[in-house]
Amino acid sequence: MAYNLLKGKKGIIFGALNEQSIAWKIAEKCYEEGAQIVLTNAPIALRMGEINKLAETCGNAPVIPADVTSNDDLKNLLTKSIEHFGGQVDFILHSVGMSMNMRKNNHYTALNYDFTHKTFDISAMSFHRVLQLAYQMDAISEWGSVVALTYIAAQRVFPDYNEMADAKALLESVARSFGYQYAKKNKVRINTVSQSPTRTTAGSGVKGFEGFISFAEKMSPLGNATAEDCANYCVTLFSDLTKMVTMQNLFHDGGFSFTGVTAEVIEQMEK
Ligand SMILES: NC(=O)c1ccc[n+]([C@@H]2O[C@H](COP(=O)([O-])OP(=O)(O)OC[C@H]3O[C@@H](n4cnc5c(N)ncnc54)[C@H](O)[C@@H]3O)[C@@H](O)[C@H]2O)c1
């Protein structure tokens, strides 16, 4: 059921790679709630062509390539989006993450720093880059809303999350620091949403992911939040109903983050 929560709003969605992507579900939901959107991803991801299917179902949304590590690409994305919308954007979703160390199975104690540098650039510094360019270009409307997706490994140790944990800690810090600056300038809100483990291309790259996801399921009183649940939550954050929420890391995890232990986990331990 749609509530028209985003009627008249215009947004940019980063990171829809395929139907499993959390950003894919968020794009669909934003469109369903009345928003107009622009889709973007790295040129290499766009070559797979899947995003065109999503663009069609979202009112023939433009697809604009942008590598999040390139200032020129991002400037072009913001310029073209403003042209397309005929004005500023109201919301931005940052749903981007990548670790070559994870892909190559490099342990946290034996990182390749060229890869680590890339991880931080793509997964965290890119958030600052998008915000800084938007700030300088005055690309976001007053009371606009920006959300980035993160994971609880920023606060607690999940050994196989590797250097992505450090990247997420930086990402969440950028949301706070830039949240202050952008609120003062233009009342723009910036938050991170800390999502349950979710079966996606990036998610499945984490070693032992299946064990990990079922542990989280048992440790969450409501169970794991799905990508669709995340999409619903993000819609509320892009809407005018959450105007005074900014600089927060918001857990969207079925209660996992505040649970010490559950009956299911104790039962498992007693087997
Ligand atoms: N899946 C999970 O368990 C989970 C849990 C919490 C948070 N998250 C976060 O959600 C976000 C989305 O991930 P997902 O799980 O939907 O996986 P996904 O693989 O579908 O999305 C990751 C996206 O990042 C894009 N990307 C990578 N390098 C890029 C670059 N240089 N420029 C532009 N885009 C680039 C990829 O093309 C892809 O679309 C990530 O920030 C991830 O860390 C995922």
26-53 pLDDT, tens digit each = 999 999 999 999 999 999 999 987 999 9
Question: From the CA of 14, how far away is ligand 1's center (Å)?
Answer: 9
Mutate which of 14, 17, 257 for ligand 1 pocket (most atoms within 8 A of beta carbon): 17
The pLDDT of residue 192 is above 90: yes
Ligand 1 atom with the shortest distance to the CA of 14:
34
Structural domains in the chain, sorted by start:
10-270 (3.40.50.720)
The pLDDT of residue 225 is above 90: yes
16-35: average pLDDT = 98
Q: Which residues are catalytic?
A: 151, 161
Q: How does residue 1 score in pLDDT terms, banded at 50, 70 and 90?
A: confident
Per-residue pLDDT reduced to its tens digit, 65-86: 999 999 999 999 999 999 999 9
The pLDDT of residue 205 is above 90: no
Question: Angle, to 10 degrees, between the axis of helix 209-219 and the axis of helix 263-270?
Answer: 120
The pLDDT value recorded for residue 167 is 98
The pLDDT value recorded for residue 28 is 98
d(CA 116, CA 114): 5
Amino acid at 145: S
Instruction: Please give all residues whose beta carbon lies within 6 A of any atom in ligand 1, as ranges.
Output: 15, 17, 21-23, 41-42, 45, 67-69, 95-98, 122, 149-151, 195, 197-198, 200-203
Q: Which two tokens stand for residue 87?
A: 């004005």
Per-residue pLDDT reduced to its tens digit, 228-258: 999 999 999 999 999 999 999 999 999 999 9
d(CA 82, CA 158): 40
The pLDDT of residue 58 is above 90: yes
**Per-chain mean pLDDT for the chain:** 97
Backbone angle region of 21, left / alpha / beta, with phi > 0 → left and psi within -120 to 50 → alpha: beta
Question: From the CA of 44, how far away is ligand 1's center (Å)?
Answer: 14
**Number of Cβ within a 10 Å radius of residue 86:** 7
Sign of CA dihedral 134, 135, 137, 139: positive
Closest CA to 249 of 141, 184, 154: 154
d(CA 216, CA 169): 20
Tell me the binding residues for NAD(+).
Answer: 15, 21-22, 67-68, 96, 168
For residues 25 and 201, is the Cβ–Cβ distance under 8 A? no
Per-residue pLDDT reduced to its tens digit, 101-131: 999 999 999 999 999 999 999 999 999 999 9
Beta strand 36-41 pairing with 63-65: parallel
Q: What angle do CA 189, 194, 200 make, to 5 degrees?
A: 120
pTM here is 0.98
Residue matched to tokens 């607690």: 156
Mutate which of 20, 40, 98 for ligand 1 pocket (most atoms within 8 A of beta carbon): 98
